[in-house]
């Protein structure tokens, strides 16, 4: 069966852009302050003209109304808002924060990107995606993804009281930690024929994505490649705090101190 290829949004980079950064899978949460602090320092200091957050900035996002109360999410929004005053800030849904909506975008000055989006910069076309939609062998997750991305499911979940949604989030975090301890947190990898089909339709040579937590560059043949972003974890040994930077010289991985 031929891979299903979605439609693509397109973002033409302004002529003034020289450098852009890509990050994903930070899984920010109040219980991991070191990762939050590293991200805040990065957002304050990056010289990039734009930062693209390709999903799972947050460990979980239960709805934009969480911003109506003080707390960790409001602190994150403040960091994003400050950054958006001096650079382009773009946000794409991941599998953990797909409920982020206009409320978060309005509060932060970020632009919500469709998944996938083609970025046109330096005379090249890049397919940007979180990556989860391409992990076709993870059948259980693909069925779950199809369910929770429907308007009816999201409306039903967001209609629940905020405290109830936060309790669900705590349960999800506990389940995630249990999977980490059992070494069962690996994701299925991106399907190569599907990635090639996406790139061919987009007339692009490079796909940039996160989700799998397996940073690498994969040669897909025919002048195509798939570049995978790292997840972030300041408490890991060694720490994982990596940015993928694109400038006139190409793509470079930057390990933050």
Q: What is the pLDDT of residue 171?
A: 81
* Per-residue confidence (pLDDT) for residue 5, from 0 to 100: 87
The confidence score (pLDDT) of residue 4 equals: 76
Q: How far apart are CA 110 and CA 87, in angstroms?
A: 10
Q: Which two tokens stand for residue 47?
A: 């010289």
187 contacts 138 by C-beta, under 8 angstroms: yes
Between CA 73 and CA 6 the distance in angstroms is: 31
Give the pairing type, strands 206-209 and 224-228: parallel
Q: Is the pLDDT at 180 greater than 70, yes or no?
A: no
Q: What per-residue confidence (pLDDT) applies to 183? A: 53
The predicted model gives 79-85 an average pLDDT of: 98
Question: Does the pLDDT of residue 71 top 90, yes or no?
Answer: yes
Nearest-Å Rg of the Cα atoms of the chain is 18
Q: Which CATH architecture has domain 18-255?
A: 4-Layer Sandwich (3.60)
* 113-153 pLDDT tens trace: 999 999 999 899 999 999 999 999 999 889 989 999 999 99
**pLDDT value of residue 174:** 74
From the list 135, 123, 1, 124, the residue with the least C-alpha distance to 55 is 135
pLDDT per residue as tens digits for the range 19-69: 999 999 999 999 999 999 999 999 999 999 999 999 999 999 999 999 999
Q: Report the C-alpha gap between 81 and 155 in whole angstroms.
A: 27
Tokens of 221: 């043949």
Altogether, the residues listed in the chain come to a count of 257
Q: Is it the case that residue 93 has pLDDT exceeding 80?
A: yes
- The residue extents of the domains of the chain are 18-255
Mean pLDDT for 182-207 is 86
Residue-by-residue DSSP string for 198-240: HHHHHT-SEEEE-SS---EEEEEETTEEEEEPPP-BTTSSS-B
């Amino acid at each position: 069966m031929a891979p299903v290829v979605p439609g693509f949004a397109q973002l033409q980079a302004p002529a003034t852009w020289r450098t852009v950064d890509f990050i994903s899978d930070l899984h920010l949460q109040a219980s991991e302050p070191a990762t939050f602090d590293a991200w805040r320092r990065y957002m304050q200091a990056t010289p990039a003209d734009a930062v693209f957050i390709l999903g799972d900035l947050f460990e979980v996002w239960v709805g934009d109304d969480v911003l109506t109360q003080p707390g960790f999410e409001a602190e994150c929004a403040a960091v994003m808002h400050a950054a958006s005053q001096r650079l382009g800030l773009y946000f794409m849904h991941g599998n953990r924060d797909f409920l982020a909506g206009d409320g978060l975008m309005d509060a932060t000055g970020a632009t919500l990107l469709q998944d996938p989006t083609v970025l046109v910069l330096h005379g090249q076309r890049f397919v940007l995606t979180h990556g989860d939609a391409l992990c076709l062998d993870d059948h259980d997750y693909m069925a779950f993804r199809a369910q929770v991305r429907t308007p009816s499911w999201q409306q039903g979940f967001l209609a629940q009281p905020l405290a109830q949604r936060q309790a669900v989030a705590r349960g999800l975090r506990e389940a995630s930690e249990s999977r980490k301890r059992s070494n069962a947190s690996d994701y299925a990898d991106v399907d190569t024929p599907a990635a090639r089909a996406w790139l061919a339709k987009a007339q692009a040579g490079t796909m940039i994505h996160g989700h799998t937590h397996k940073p690498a560059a994969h040669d897909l043949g025919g002048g195509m490649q798939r570049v995978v972003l790292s997840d972030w974890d300041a408490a890991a040994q060694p720490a994982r705090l990596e940015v993928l930077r694109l400038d006139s010289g190409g793509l470079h991985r930057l390990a933050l101190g």
